[in-house]
Amino acid sequence: MALDLPVIQTRDPGGTAAGEAIRNLLLFEKADLSITAQVLLFFAARDQALNEVIRPSLLDGKIVMTDRHTLSTLAYQGYGLAKGDEGTLEMISTLDRTMPVRPDITFWLDVPVSISSQRTEARNAGSDRLESNGADFFERVRTGYSEAWKKNPERIIRIDGTKEQSLITLEIMSILKQSMAEKAILSA
């Protein structure tokens, strides 16, 4: 099931030379970064991608898909690392409001932590700074996603990530086609 539209894929953080350097610092360097430093670096990489990749692609009429965005920062740094600290959550929210472009749709592939851990091990993906945290950390991350979804069900779409990958793909493609059809009707 194709969308028959030009699609640009990028990653967060990353997708630009500066973003990739920030990604490396955030995820793989041995630097002891505070939660605030991490949040600011994620937003710096995001802003760079917005200016170099996302905005120009949108202006060219392309669809932009990214693997993560502010919701991930909220879940990982705000809930996972800061344990729901209100100051950290407010900082992330404030920084997000400064972004001139936000995702139209966010898909949250919800997977229990035990299954997620098994999949990470099976991929033999290696551990980055965040993936090396324990189960309690990932339970808080999942809570962060869940809390955001409850507050924004019209923008964040929860997908059962335990389903077969092909079924997840079909569900996402169906939602995207419906969303694009609704936008076409509204703009007509």
Distances (CA, A) of 5 to 60, 96, 163, 186: 11, 28, 26, 18
Which domain covers residue 183, as residue numbers? Answer: 7-187
Residue 1 belongs to some domain of the structure: no
pTM over 0.85: yes
Number of separate domains in the chain: 1
* pLDDT over 60 at 5, yes or no: yes
Contacts (Cβ under 8 Å, ≥6 apart) of 61:
6
Q: Strand, helix or coil at 7?
A: strand
Q: If you average pLDDT over every residue of the chain, what do you get?
A: 90
Distance separating alpha carbons of residues 69 and 73, to the nearest angstrom: 7
**Is 2 part of a structural domain of the chain?**
no
pLDDT value of residue 136: 94
Q: Give the Cα separation of 53 and 57 in Å (integer).
A: 6
CATH of the domain at 61: 3.40.50.300
Could you tell me if residue 11 is inside a domain? yes
Task: For residues 158-182, give the mean pLDDT.
Answer: 92
Mean pLDDT value of segment 5-25: 94
The 10s digit of each residue's pLDDT in 76-106 is 999 999 999 999 999 999 999 999 998 999 9
